[in-house]
Each structure stands twice: as structure tokens, then as C-alpha cells.
């Protein structure tokens, strides 16, 4: 008999972010602007059978709404219980046990965990500087792509904008990475959880993915749409990969209320989402200005959050605890190895909210940093 618990699971712990209640929670990048009103209204009107009956097996009404919204065919769309579910399903669907998942650290913390959960090898690829800087050097962008695809990993993951750094890799470089993956038959997962926060007309990978052979883009309704509690994720990409992801994901993963709410949200053509995302961009830039005025050096970000390397003498644990005592939660990132930084750096990640919340955060930060 093999040992229990299984070998690969021994280092795993249950995911345990600090969830003690706090006045202003800027720790998990959920929306500080509330839920999409059409989604809320739809769920309020739930019928008794929405609880009694199973949902459609593969959330086909939702797949159709996604296809209409993004102008892609239904067979290019999969959905899941959050995009986490789609990441997990994609890892399992695409890779044989023992194969490598390549990614650029620091990135979404769940990648290493899902790799381990699916008996895969998490293989971080060292990134010497932000991609835009590498691309500006002769051959720097190509060298990074080569390192990500060499030896044929099972899967390549890229987060754009990247959590937690906020980096938005140049579109040209991402397309070159996609070319390299497609040429070698490697599946490329582009996590665009924060793409809603990019300025309108910023190129993303979604359109290309639907017509590709190996590219899948992940979106979520957990951030800009204010629906993290409903757990709805979206994958758009190569139909042959999408089919495998659906097999791996299995039936009934999006519940009836979540599906109905998500459909209502996606069908809304008003400027509600553009409005909240524009407010988040403005708030983010205003926050960065405030931080720089204090002599701090936040990283440029394309998301609804800012990563702040702490000044000398301040530690992630100390600052996070001090902020919490003052009613503000942020996400701690201790000893982060950032592209282009020589030494590990203590950081905090701050989700962007409306001005009153940012003022509360800044007041608390000033007290904590003295
Ligand atoms: C928040 C986030 C998600 C969203 O996960 P859901 O399961 O859809 O809530 C996905 N990827 C990244 C990088 C995130 O930060």
C-alpha cells in the first residue's frame, strides 16, 4: 500500500488567507464598488426551482452569453466555479503527471498549488527585469521565451496584468510567446483576471485565443464585476483545448443562481463595468502619486491593486499588522523576489477602492511607517 497522505500532498496546507473581519478589506482585489446591479437583481428574483433543479450540465446559457459578448463561437468557451476551477481543470486536462508548468514568478500563488495538486512540477522561469525592459535589450525578450518553452513543458502560464506585481507585458512579446507555444504544440494559459482594468482598446489575447490551436485565455467575474461570492470563471480559447478542459472540469460546476446572474451581467451593454474600472484606474494612479509623495516606490500596475515594496526597516509582517490594528487589511508579500531587484523585498499589495478607503489606508500607513 502506498503511504498516506500521498507524498505530493504532504507540503500542501489548506489555503488560509487572513479572513478576520476588518473595516476596509483591501487584501483580495475583489471589487470595492459593489456587485453588478443586474446580477444582484436577477438573483433576488430567483424561482424555487432554481434551488430544486440541477443547473445545465455545462452552463450552456452562460457559454452562449460569453460567446455573444466576446464575439467568439460557443465551442471556444468553457466556464467553471471561478477561474481557479478552470486553471485546475486545465492543468489536469493538458498535462501528464510529472510534466512541468512554467511561469514567471512572482505570479498568482495558486499556480504552484494547482501544479502540486495535479502531480505536476511547478517550474518558475527567472525573469531578470520587467518584460518591457528585456524587450528593449537586443534578444532579451526572445531569450525569456526560449527559457519558457525549452524542453517542451506540459503547459505555460502567464498572468497579464500580473498578480501581484501589476506588470502588463507588452502585447507584441505575448504574441511572440504564443507563436512559440503554438509552433511546439504547448498549451499557453493567459490569465486575464484583471484585463477588465486595462484602458479600453489595450490589446489582449482573447480574440486570437478563440481561433488558435493552443491558446486559452481566462477571465473572471470575481473582480471588476463584483461577483467573487458567486464563483464564475470563463475560459476562451482553442476549441480542441476547451473540450479537454470541459471533460476534466466535469458537470454542474456553475450553479443555477450564479449562471443566471452571470448571464444578466454579460448581457448588460451599459457602462457600469467600464465605469467602475475607470474609477479603479483613477484611484490606482492617485494612490501611486500619494505613495511617491511619501518617498515610496510602488510598482506600475495594470490591475485594481498596487504592489508596494516597503522602505528599509519596515517589514511586511509589521506593516500588515499595524494596518490591521487600524482597521485596514492588505495582502502581505514578505521577501518577494521581484524582477530587476537584487535582494528579496518585503512588500504589501493594496487593492484599490473609492477615495475614502484610500484616504483611510494612507492615514493608517502614515501612522505605521511613522
Ligand atoms: C483573483 C484572481 C483570479 C480569480 O479567481 P476566481 O477563481 O475566478 O475567483 C484568477 N487569477 C488571478 C491571477 C487572480 O488574481
Distance separating alpha carbons of residues 356 and 362, to the nearest angstrom: 10
For ligand 1, mutation pick of 222, 302, 305 (most atoms within 8 Å of CB): 222
Concatenate the DSSP letters of all residues of 78-105 into one string.
EEESHHHHHHHHHHHHH--TT-EEEE-S
**Using omega within 30 degrees of 0 as the cis cutoff, is the peptide bond preceding 161 cis?**
yes
Q: What percentage of the chain carries pLDDT values higher than 90?
A: 91
CATH 3.90.1150.10 segments of the chain: 19-33+272-369
Residue 330 main-chain phi, psi, to 5 deg: -130, 170
Confidence of residue 9 (pLDDT cuts 50, 70, 90): confident
Residue 230 has pLDDT above 90, yes or no: yes
Cα distance between residue 273 and residue 281, in whole Å: 12
- pLDDT at residue 19 greater than cutoff 90: no
Taking domain 19-33+272-369, whether its CATH number is 3.90.1150.10 is answered by yes
Region(s) of the chain under CATH 3.40.640.10: 37-267
Q: Residues 262-308: pLDDT tens digits? A: 999 999 999 999 999 999 999 999 999 999 999 999 999 999 999 99
Q: Please check whether residue 78 is in contact with residue 242, taking contact to mean a CB–CB distance below 8 angstroms.
A: yes
* 216-223 average pLDDT score: 98
**pLDDT value at position 341?**
85
- Output the residue whose Cα is nearest ligand 1's atom 15: 163
φ/ψ bin of 288: left (φ > 0), alpha (ψ from -120 to 50), beta (otherwise) = alpha
Question: Cα–Cα distance between 45 and 62 in angstroms, integer?
Answer: 18
Shortest CA distance to 347 belongs to which of 369, 328, 319? 319
Average pLDDT, stretch 171-179?
A: 97
Short-list 265, 300, 202, 268, CA closest to 39: 265
- Higher pLDDT: 2 or 232? It is 232
What's residue 15's pLDDT? 84
Instruction: Provide the pLDDT confidence category of residue 3 given band limits of 50, 70 and 90.
Output: confident
The confidence band for 8, taking pLDDT boundaries of 50, 70 and 90, is confident
pLDDT, tens digit (0-9, with 9 covering 90-100), for 104-146: 999 999 999 999 999 999 999 999 999 999 999 989 999 999 9
Q: Which CATH class is domain 37-267?
A: alpha beta
Query: Which residues are near ligand 1 (CB < 6 Å)?
Result: 29, 82-84, 108, 159, 163, 191, 193, 220, 222-223, 228, 233
| Section 154-159 average pLDDT | 98
Amino acid at each position: 500500500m502506498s503511504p498516506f497522505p500521498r507524498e505530493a500532498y504532504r507540503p500542501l496546507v489548506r489555503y488560509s488567507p487572513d479572513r478576520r473581519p476588518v473595516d476596509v478589506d483591501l487584501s483580495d482585489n475583489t471589487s470595492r464598488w459593489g456587485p453588478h446591479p443586474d446580477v444582484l437583481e436577477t438573483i433576488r428574483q430567483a424561482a424555487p426551482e432554481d434551488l430544486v433543479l440541477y443547473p445545465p450540465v455545462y452552463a450552456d446559457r452562460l457559454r452562449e452569453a460569453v460567446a455573444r459578448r466576446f464575439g467568439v463561437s460557443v465551442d471556444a468557451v468553457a466556464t467553471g466555479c471561478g477561474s481557479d476551477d478552470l486553471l485546475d481543470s486545465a492543468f489536469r486536462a493538458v498535462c501528464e503527471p510529472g510534466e512541468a508548468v512554467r511561469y514567471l514568478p512572482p505570479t498568482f500563488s495558486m499556480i504552484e498549488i494547482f501544479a502540486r495538486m495535479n502531480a505536476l512540477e511547478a517550474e518558475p522561469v527567472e525573469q531578470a527585469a520587467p518584460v518591457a525592459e528585456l524587450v528593449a535589450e537586443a534578444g532579451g525578450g526572445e531569450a525569456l521565451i526560449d527559457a519558457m518553452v525549452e524542453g517542451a513543458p506540459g503547459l505555460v502560464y502567464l498572468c497579464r496584468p500580473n498578480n501581484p506585481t501589476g506588470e502588463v507585458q507588452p502585447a507584441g512579446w505575448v504574441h511572440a510567446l504564443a507563436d512559440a507555444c503554438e509552433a511546439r504544440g504547448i498549451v499557453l494559459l493567459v490569465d486575464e483576471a484583471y484585463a477588465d482594468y486595462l484602458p479600453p482598446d489595450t490589446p489582449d489575447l482573447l480574440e486570437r485565443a478563440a481561433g488558435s490551436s493552443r491558446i486559452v485565455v481566462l477571465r473572471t467575474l470575481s473582480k471588476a464585476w463584483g461577483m467573487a461570492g458567486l464563483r464564475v470563471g470563463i475560459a476562451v480559447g482553442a476549441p480542441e483545448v476547451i473540450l479537454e478542459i470541459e471533460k476534466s472540469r466535469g458537470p454542474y460546476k456553475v450553479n443555477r443562481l450564479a449562471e443566471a446572474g452571470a448571464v444578466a451581467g454579460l448581457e448588460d451593454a451599459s457602462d457600469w463595468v467600464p465605469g467602475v474600472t475607470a474609477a479603479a484606474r483613477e484611484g490606482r494612479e492617485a494612490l501611486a502619486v500619494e505613495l511617491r509623495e511619501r518617498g515610496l516606490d510602488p510598482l506600475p500596475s495594470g490591475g485594481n491593486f498596487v504592489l508596494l515594496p516597503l522602505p528599509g526597516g519596515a517589514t511586511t509582517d509589521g506593516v500588515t499588522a499595524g494596518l490591521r490594528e487600524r482597521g485596514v487589511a492588505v495582502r502581505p508579500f514578505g521577501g518577494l523576489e521581484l524582477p530587476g531587484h537584487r535582494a528579496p523585498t518585503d512588500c504589501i499589495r493594496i487593492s484599490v477602492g473609492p477615495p475614502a478607503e484610500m484616504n483611510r489606508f494612507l492615514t493608517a500607513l502614515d501612522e505605521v511607517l511613522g
